[in-house]
Structure 1
Amino acid sequence: MEDISVITAVHHPLRRRIFDYLLLYGTSQVTAISRALDSQVGSISHHLRMLERAGVVQRAEDPSGDRRTSWWMLSRNSFTWSADDYADAPADALLAREAERNGIRGQIDRLQRWRRRHRAGDLPQYDGYSTETLGWATPAELQDLSERLRRTLDEWRTSIDRTDGQERMPVFFFSHAFPTEP
């Protein structure tokens, strides 16, 4: 089970964007993150320290050896959790539910932004997709599905050769699996 401080740290909207930036671009300088996310350097630095306290990011050596700049990298690249994990701690359960809501809002917002850009013709070569299904599962089988999907996504992400000269865009994947009624 994830510590609630990790969950609340990552599910703040700007901190989530910082996490995503570092996941996509790797070790980065604060000013580069600030420019890319259109945020003040001081704000980015503050949120990086919050993520550092939660064990999500860590300071990195400046590749040029210049110690006047601040570089950061991820300490980890994925999280698996459920708000139900915190049922025995009411205060943490409240925080987990809010983090869950923030995460889902962020996922839907990303989807809507992509759809607007795609319809406007900004990304004609990138067709998104939607996939869904129904099946039967025990709690252990649902957990197994989660682990298989995480492994598959990790393998897919690391299999891409970003040095092959092809133009790429960041791609966001999200999936939810949960008990339901037909």
Structure 2
Amino acid sequence: MEEISVITAVHHPLRRRIIDYLQLHEATQVGTLAKAFGAQVGSISHHLRMLQKAGIVEQTDDPTGDKRTSWWQLARRRITWSESDFDSPADAMLAREAQRANVRHQLDRLQRWHRVSRDSDVEGFATDTLKWATPAELRDLGQRLNAMLDEWGAGIDREDGQERLPVFFFAHGFPTEV
């Protein structure tokens, strides 16, 4: 179970963007993050420290060996929770709001894609299905999808000279009414 402090740290809008950037670009200098987001270095450093306190990012050595620059990378790539994980009504409310913020973030990305997709040479995809599952089978599906995405991503050679675009993938599996 995640601590509520981790969940709330991750769902600050700028921190979420920092996490997304580090997922794509791996170890990154603070100044590069500030430039990417049009933010002050001090602001980015503050948000990185908040994410570090939550165990999401960690400082790393400058790949060139320069000790004067501050580089950061993800310490972990996955955070999973449910509002039912929390006994405290206040924490359950924060977890629920973080879930809502996460869904808004996902849908905002999808809407942005649809606005520009007509002008793009790259096609996305959509998928959905309806099946029967026990709670354990649903958990298993989520674990299998995460493992498949990890394996798929590890098989991509980013140094092969091919042009790549950032790709956002999201899927939801949940009990529903028919």
TM bucket (normalised to shorter chain) is: over 0.9
* 1:76-123 superposed Cα distances (whole Å, 9 cap, x missing partner): 11122222222x12111011011111111100110111111112x1x2
CA contact (8 A) 1:12 1:99 kept: no
Report the counterpart of residue 109 of structure 1 in structure 2.
108
* 1:45-94 superposed Cα distances (whole Å, 9 cap, x missing partner): 111000000000011112222222111011011122222222x1211101
Unaligned runs of 5+ in 1: none
Number of equivalences:
178
Q: Which of 127, 130, 138 lines up with 1:131 in the alignment?
A: 127
Measure the CA separation in 1 of the matches of 2:155 and 2:83.
31
Matches within 5 A, 1:139-178: 139-178=135-174
* 1:9-41 superposed Cα distances (whole Å, 9 cap, x missing partner): 111111011001111101000011111122221
Unaligned runs of 5+ in 2: none
Partner SS for 1:147: helix
RMSD: 1.0
Measure the CA separation in 2 of the matches of 1:26 and 1:83.
30
TM-score w.r.t. structure 2 length? 0.96
User: Partner amino acid for 2:32?
Assistant: A
